[in-house]
Chain A
Amino acid sequence: MRKMFFIVLFWAISSSIFAQKVVKGEVFEGAGNSPLEGVSVYWNNTTIGTITDSKGKFELPFDGRNHELVLSYVGFKTDTLHILEPTELKHWMVEDNSLEEVVLKKRKQTSFRSLIQAQNITHITSAELLKAACCNLAESFETNPAIDVNFSDALTGTRQIKMLGLTSPNTLITVETIPTIRGASQSFGLSFIPGTWVESIQIAKGAGSVTNGYESIAGQINVELQKPNKDAKFFLNAYASSDQRYELNNHLNFKLDDKWSTGLYLHGNLRNHAADNNDDGFMDMPMGKQLNLMNRWQYTDSEKGWVGFLNLHFLTDEKEIGQTHITDSGHDEGHGHSFDDGWGGLIETIRAEASVKAAYVFPDRPYESIGLQTSYSYHDQKSHYGVQVYDINHNSFYSNLMFSSIISDTRHKFKTGVSFTYDLYDERLLLTDYKRDDFSTGVYFEYAFDNLDALLLTVGVRADYHNRIGFFITPRVHAQYTLWERGTLKGSIGRGVRSASVFAENQQIFASSRTVIIENSGGDIYGLDAEDAWNYGLSFTQGFNLFDRVADLALDYYRTDYVNQVVLDLENPLEARFYNLKGNSFANSFQAEVNMSPLQRTSLRLSYRLSDVQTDYLTGRLLKPLTSKHRFFVNASYETAFTEKHSQWRFDATYNWLGKQRFPNTQNNPVEYQRPEWTPPINLVNAQVTRVFNHKFEIYVGGENITNVRQNNPIIAADDPYGMYFDTTMVYGPIYGAMYYAGLRWKL
């Protein structure tokens, strides 16, 4: 701990790697469908504007401050549209002398790909997040085809996300660009960010930006939280579901003066009912409770060019797992149960975080800024899974100092800086203590070129020293080229390096009788080496018109090649074996996605995803277990027009088809404890209806997995939990079955 304080003075920040949100649109002439070229489109009273191209299209950054979008063209009526969020719209200009009313048709696009930056980034707005039950960040990706959401085991109800077919530790997850879900919080951290706190999410596929560190391999997910000066003064969300989960969210925001705002965000959830739909004697999902508090302070002085944030975050979380009869007796005695009690477990977490961000934009040089961000987190988890005791304490300090400016002119921009990370881990698994402290410091430089026409290029490199990995270089390159009208090609190459916290990232293995074995190969991280991978990606987007409305097609191909990987081998049903990769490990991922609007106020997203993830295990090259090779995804939504009172109905449905997945080998188990080679494919349907009464109040009801698909016998040897074959990690589908929920949102 003392060491921490010496390092604390090492400061830092990065401004957002993710560029602004945008408003996109198409402008047409009169009642017909001929596009109008050269229409001026700009934010009222600003210089931010553009003109429509030969297809009548435009794209403008949306900064949340300006809401009046002006469209003007000679011979036509000038129109002012009220835009409250990044959207995609269609607009028909009416001739000046005609008496017809202005016909305004607007399609909200709640999730879209950025074409104003070289990285392949999908933006998810808060409106998209409202489409699902979405109680926390882990559940926020259900309407997004780029991310797979799986259950990690049959007990903890933990959702695990996968990107490009790789589990979440391969993805750098940042909160306002500060790396947050890492180390001890890797398994459960996504459930520690309540859904209502999220303002937007940016998903960057492939190599990330060097400004946020060297850890991202498959991609980066950045979460922007609600901002006290923009969020509602008062917000209340209550939620209840048929699986007896209750949630309450409350936001209170205050504007203290023209520069300072503060917000208080409270979240609580509770499930105190032991449900066992499949009668295996085990709860289908844990009982538990969480109390989660955040206080944000925001400072903005646009005249002098200062912006700043202070964040304080505290949470406690408790999950009770195991056999239904044992949970009634309570777990208050602490660690461990006697065998006679049955099989039970408890996971208790306390986490506290503080972060500061400050940025200064030179008033006379608007293209030059300096930023500093720094954060500290304390994470303490005490848990037992049956008789397996696992405790982890993780103190982490991060700081990043960044300078942004231009080379010669604003077509050539750069960001450079230094960052520092310190992690102190103290773990206990059964009777063995594992203690390690990791520190790394590095410098980075990222150059971005925009030829103001068709080419965007970002070249970044960082050099780091890590006490366990040594000195290494992380290069990353992104490029975007506009091939033709509305056709854009993106490419990227980059390296990612990370030290894997093998236990914290794979806690599901403790809920089994598997013996944990680490093949010590003399490395510095649990006797293993750091993970090291290269990622290559290509992406093509084509916009077009379908049913007289805008539509787009996106094709992505990404490949990840591991130089070294910490392989988790579950092919022997009695072991969970970790070792350094011997041979090859790679992930090929292809995705095709079409977004369209077949009718007014309707949107339809169709997607197909192929993941081919293979690793050389001790028993030969195999597909990564419990990862579907094929996935189809359909999301459809429809909303009625707003009435004068601003009331509206919204309907949303998502269909997912996951192809067969490979079970880890269970051939050596007794016949009754064996699993086939492949899981069956599964179909999942979610649906939700929202009734908006006015600006202030709305209610929603919905169902998840409404066709009631269930995995039978998710637990191997549920009848003998202390026997050698007990295993809860063989999960490919829902365990609980259909779940219905209702909630309300009220804001002032």
Chain B
Amino acid sequence: MKKFLVIAIFFSGAALFAQNKNQKTEIEVNGVCLMCKDRIEKAAIKNKGVKSAVWDVNTHKLSVIFDEGKISTEEIEQSVANVGHDTENLTAPKDAYDNLHPCCKYRDEEVIQGH
């Protein structure tokens, strides 16, 4: 009986602190076109622990399914920013943004208007 209790407590504890292997989140990522989409999704999925990444060109939302035990939302955001795309909390490094295809310069008002 004692053993059973120990096991039960162990499992309930494990359940409490369990990290969701299929955590879903949405991150706001700036971008304008489908070339951006390709780049954003590739950057996100190349992270270990990210299972699926889909960016919506209209809503600018990046839907990610990832393993919380392996990666955090912040790390995913960082990887997306590193390839040149601003996220809700991070600004992309200048050189990464400058390297973007002219069509993808989402900070440029004219480019946004064009899409």
A602 CB within 8 Å of chain B = no
Q: Size of chain A's interface in residues, with CB distance under 8 A?
A: 27
By the criterion CB–CB under 8 Å, are B55 and A365 in contact? no
Chain B residues with CB under 8 A of A78? 115
Q: Using an 8 Å CB-CB cutoff, how does the interface string of A27-53 with B read, 1 for contact, 0 for none?
A: 000000000011011100101011100
Tell me, in angstroms, the Cα distance from A364 to B53 when the chains sit together. 13
Tell me, in angstroms, the Cα distance from A73 to B37 when the chains sit together. 15
User: Given the interface contacts A364-B22, A411-B45, does A72 sit within 8 Å of B51 by beta carbon?
Assistant: no
By the criterion CB–CB under 8 Å, are B57 and A49 in contact? yes
Q: How far is the CB of B61 from chain A (nearest CB, A)?
A: 9
Interface residues of B in 1-56 (CB under 8 A from A): 22, 24, 32-35, 37-38, 42, 45, 48, 50-56
Q: How far is the CB of A422 from chain B (nearest CB, A)?
A: 38
For A38, A49, A51, A406, the residue with the greatest tally of chain B CB atoms inside 10 Å of its CB is A51
By the criterion CB–CB under 8 Å, are B55 and A47 in contact? yes
Tell me, in angstroms, the Cα distance from A93 to B45 when the chains sit together. 33
Chain B residues with CB under 8 A of A411? 45
A367 CB within 8 Å of chain B = yes
Tell me, in angstroms, the Cα distance from A638 to B60 when the chains sit together. 43
User: Given the interface contacts A40-B33, A42-B34, A409-B45, does A367 sit within 8 Å of B114 by beta carbon?
Assistant: no
By the criterion CB–CB under 8 Å, are A410 and B115 in contact? no
By the criterion CB–CB under 8 Å, are B22 and A38 in contact? no
Tell me, in angstroms, the Cα distance from A366 to B54 when the chains sit together. 11
B111 CB within 8 Å of chain A = yes
Q: How far is the CB of A48 from chain B (nearest CB, A)?
A: 9
By the criterion CB–CB under 8 Å, are B34 and A49 in contact? yes
Interface residues of A in 35-90 (CB under 8 A from B): 37-38, 40-42, 45, 47, 49-51, 72-76, 78
User: Given the interface contacts A38-B101, A42-B57, A74-B115, does A452 sit within 8 Å of B42 by beta carbon?
Assistant: yes
A408 CB within 8 Å of chain B = yes
Tell me, in angstroms, the Cα distance from A695 to B54 when the chains sit together. 37
By the criterion CB–CB under 8 Å, are B114 and A75 in contact? yes
Q: How far is the CB of B75 from chain A (nearest CB, A)?
A: 14
B110 CB within 8 Å of chain A = yes
Chain B residues with CB under 8 A of A452? 42, 45
Tell me, in angstroms, the Cα distance from A569 to B43 when the chains sit together. 60
By the criterion CB–CB under 8 Å, are A51 and B51 in contact? no
By the criterion CB–CB under 8 Å, are B114 and A408 in contact? no
Residue of A nearest to B35 (CB): A51
Tell me, in angstroms, the Cα distance from A563 to B113 when the chains sit together. 64
By the criterion CB–CB under 8 Å, are B33 and A406 in contact? no
Chain A residues with CB under 8 A of B103? 37-38, 51, 73-74
Q: How far is the CB of A452 from chain B (nearest CB, A)?
A: 6
By the criterion CB–CB under 8 Å, are B45 and A40 in contact? no
Q: How far is the CB of A219 from chain B (nearest CB, A)?
A: 32
Q: How far is the CB of B58 from chain A (nearest CB, A)?
A: 8
Interface residues of A in 358-386 (CB under 8 A from B): 364-367
For B33, B34, B58, B65, the residue with the greatest tally of chain A CB atoms inside 10 Å of its CB is B34
By the criterion CB–CB under 8 Å, are B35 and A38 in contact? yes
Q: How far is the CB of A648 from chain B (nearest CB, A)?
A: 32
For A38, A411, A452, the residue with the greatest tally of chain B CB atoms inside 10 Å of its CB is A38
Question: A366 is contacted by which of B37, B52, B110, B111 (Cβ under 8 Å)?
Answer: B52
By the criterion CB–CB under 8 Å, are A40 and B24 in contact? no
By the criterion CB–CB under 8 Å, are B115 and A49 in contact? no
Q: Using an 8 Å CB-CB cutoff, how does the interface string of B82-115 with A read, 1 for contact, 0 for none?
A: 0000000000000000000111100000110111
By the criterion CB–CB under 8 Å, are B111 and A409 in contact? no
Chain A residues with CB under 8 A of B42? 452
By the criterion CB–CB under 8 Å, are B45 and A72 in contact? no
Question: B51 is contacted by which of A37, A41, A406 (Cβ under 8 Å)?
Answer: A406
Is chain A's interface secondary structure helix, strand, loop, or mixed overall?
A: loop
Q: How far is the CB of A686 from chain B (nearest CB, A)?
A: 42
Residue of A nearest to B65 (CB): A365
Question: B38 is contacted by which of A45, A47, A50, A367 (Cβ under 8 Å)?
Answer: A50
Chain A residues with CB under 8 A of B113? 74
Interface residues of A in 141-160 (CB under 8 A from B): none
Tell me, in angstroms, the Cα distance from A49 to B115 when the chains sit together. 14
Tell me, in angstroms, the Cα distance from A40 to B115 when the chains sit together. 8
By the criterion CB–CB under 8 Å, are A72 and B38 in contact? no
Tell me, in angstroms, the Cα distance from A367 to B37 when the chains sit together. 19
Q: How far is the CB of A108 from chain B (nearest CB, A)?
A: 24
Tell me, in angstroms, the Cα distance from A723 to B32 when the chains sit together. 80
Chain B residues with CB under 8 A of A42? 34, 57
Question: A51 is contacted by which of B34, B45, B55 (Cβ under 8 Å)?
Answer: B34
Residue of A nearest to B59 (CB): A47
By the criterion CB–CB under 8 Å, are B34 and A41 in contact? yes
User: Given the interface contacts A38-B103, A72-B115, A367-B52, does A49 sit within 8 Å of B45 by beta carbon?
Assistant: no
User: Given the interface contacts A51-B38, A365-B65, does A410 sit within 8 Å of B33 by beta carbon?
Assistant: no
User: Given the interface contacts A38-B33, A38-B103, A74-B111, does A406 sit within 8 Å of B52 by beta carbon?
Assistant: yes
Residue of B nearest to A58 (CB): B34
Q: How far is the CB of B109 from chain A (nearest CB, A)?
A: 11
By the criterion CB–CB under 8 Å, are A365 and B50 in contact? no
Chain A residues with CB under 8 A of B57? 40, 42, 47, 49
Tell me, in angstroms, the Cα distance from A410 to B55 when the chains sit together. 14
Q: How far is the CB of B46 from chain A (nearest CB, A)?
A: 8
Tell me, in angstroms, the Cα distance from A399 to B102 when the chains sit together. 53
Residue of A nearest to B48 (CB): A408
By the criterion CB–CB under 8 Å, are A367 and B34 in contact? no
Residue of B nearest to A53 (CB): B35
By the criterion CB–CB under 8 Å, are B34 and A365 in contact? no
Chain B residues with CB under 8 A of A366? 52
By the criterion CB–CB under 8 Å, are A74 and B51 in contact? no
Tell me, in angstroms, the Cα distance from A40 to B58 when the chains sit together. 12
Q: How far is the CB of A81 from chain B (nearest CB, A)?
A: 15
Question: B34 is contacted by which of A40, A45, A408 (Cβ under 8 Å)?
Answer: A40
Residue of A nearest to B113 (CB): A74
Residue of B nearest to A408 (CB): B51
10 intermolecular pairs with C-beta atoms under 8 Å apart: A37-B103, A38-B104, A41-B34, A45-B58, A47-B54, A72-B114, A365-B22, A406-B51, A410-B51, A410-B53
List 17 extra interface pairs beyond A365-B52, A409-B53, CB under 8 A: A38-B33, A38-B101, A40-B33, A47-B54, A49-B34, A49-B37, A50-B34, A51-B34, A51-B38, A72-B115, A73-B103, A75-B114, A365-B22, A365-B51, A408-B48, A409-B45, A411-B45
Closest A-B pairs by Cβ, 10 of them: A74-B114, A38-B103, A51-B35, A51-B34, A40-B33, A49-B34, A47-B56, A40-B34, A410-B52, A409-B51
